């Protein structure tokens, strides 16, 4: 069973601050995804990383896949209230099943 | 182009009852996965349907069963409901059985068991 541990579990920051969320596992993954989920909605895919060491940027969000493809990080620069939500990493080691991480609940305070 | 639709949006049941949740996948998608999500936690994989068959199953008891229809829509059935079954149930669809890139989720069904 693949376990994806995310840290921190909760994060409350002021608007304009920077933050980093981590996703760690003992397993190697062929790819890793980051999702954001807002209250009352399903998760929405933000990015997929495939290559070890890969860095992808999505506006103020920077995603990095670890060199060994076991971990990943999400960095948000100058957080905005619209960034509030539950951030989930997910991985598909097998071809049929996507496993989600434990989640990081982010609250950005105006 | 409609995305993934789930019904009902909310449901209240009592212990011991049975419930059926429904999902219509995104147009062009033939694979449906069901997830259970407790408040503030990541979704837990229940099972996946492809070509009207259950292809893989997570760590859930036999009380959880499903079905996929020829039009790719799917149902999740839960029998003998327990208080611990209260959760958000999410349906996700994808094109093809090889789920590597992207899952499209519905907004979920919030189930409360009293």
Domain architecture of chain B: domains with CATH:
5-108 (2.60.40.10)
B18 at A interface, C-beta within 8 A: no
Residues of chain A contacting B, Cβ within 8 Å: 1, 4, 6, 30-31, 33, 40-45, 48, 86, 88, 90, 92, 94-103, 105
**Shortest Cα–Cα distance, B15 to chain A (Å):** 24
Residue B4 near residue B26 (C-beta atoms within 8 A): yes
Residue A68 near residue A52 (C-beta atoms within 8 A): yes
* Nearest of B40, B21, B41, B42 to residue B32 by alpha carbon: B21
Chain A residue nearest residue B38, CA to CA: A102
B11 at A interface, C-beta within 8 A: no
Q: Which tens digits make up the pLDDT trace of B2-30?
A: 799 999 999 999 999 999 999 999 998 99
Contact B42/A31, CB-based, under 8 Å?
Answer: no
Q: How confident is the model at residue A16 (pLDDT cuts 50, 70, 90)?
A: very high
- How large is the average pLDDT for residues B88-111? 85
Task: Give the residue from B8, B43, B87 with the most A CB atoms within 10 Å of its CB, the best one to mutate.
Answer: B43
The helix, strand and coil proportions of chain A, stated in percent and rounded to the nearest 5, come to 5, 50, 45
Residues from chain A contacting residue B33 (CB–CB below 8 Å):
97-98
pLDDT at B2: 74
Indicate the CATH number of A5-109 among 2.60.40.10, 1.10.274.10, 3.40.1500.10, 3.30.70.100: 2.60.40.10
**Element of type H or E holding B36:** strand B31-37
B7 at A interface, C-beta within 8 A: no
The answer, yes or no, to whether the previous bond of A8 is cis (omega within 30 of 0) is yes
Residues from chain B contacting residue A12 (CB–CB below 8 Å):
none
CB atoms within 10 A of CB A25: 21
Residues from chain A contacting residue B24 (CB–CB below 8 Å):
none
Phi and psi at B83, nearest 5°, equal: -55, -35
Higher pLDDT, B40 or B20: B20
Contact A88/B42, CB-based, under 8 Å?
Answer: yes
Nearest CB neighbour to A96, from listed B48, B102, B107: B48
**Element of type H or E holding B89:** strand B87-94
Residues in chain A: 110
Higher pLDDT, B113 or A40: B113
pLDDT cut 70: percent of chain B above it: 95
């Amino acid at each position: 069973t693949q376990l994806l541990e995310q840290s921190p579990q909760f994060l409350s920051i002021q608007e304009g601050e920077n933050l980093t969320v981590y996703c760690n596992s003992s397993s190697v993954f062929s790819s890793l995804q980051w999702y954001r989920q807002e209250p009352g909605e399903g998760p929405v895919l933000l990015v997929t990383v495939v290559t070890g060491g890969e860095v992808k940027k999505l506006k103020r969000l920077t995603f990095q896949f670890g060199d060994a493809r076991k971990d990943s990080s999400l960095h948000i620069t100058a957080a905005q209230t619209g960034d509030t939500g539950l951030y989930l990493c997910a991985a598909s080691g097998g071809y049929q099943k996507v496993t989600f991480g434990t989640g990081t609940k982010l609250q950005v305070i105006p | 182009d409609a995305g993934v639709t789930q019904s009902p949006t909310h449901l209240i049941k009592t212990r011991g009852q049975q419930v059926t949740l429904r999902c219509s996948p995104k147009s062009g998608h033939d694979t449906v996965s069901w997830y259970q999500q407790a408040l503030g936690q990541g979704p837990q994989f229940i099972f996946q349907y492809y070509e009207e068959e259950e292809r893989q199953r997570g760590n859930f008891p036999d009380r959880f069963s499903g079905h996929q229809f020829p039009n790719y829509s799917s149902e999740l059935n839960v029998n003998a409901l327990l208080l611990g079954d209260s959760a958000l149930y999410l349906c996700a669809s994808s094109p093809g059985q090889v789920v590597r890139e992207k899952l499209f989720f519905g907004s979920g069904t919030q189930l409360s068991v009293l």
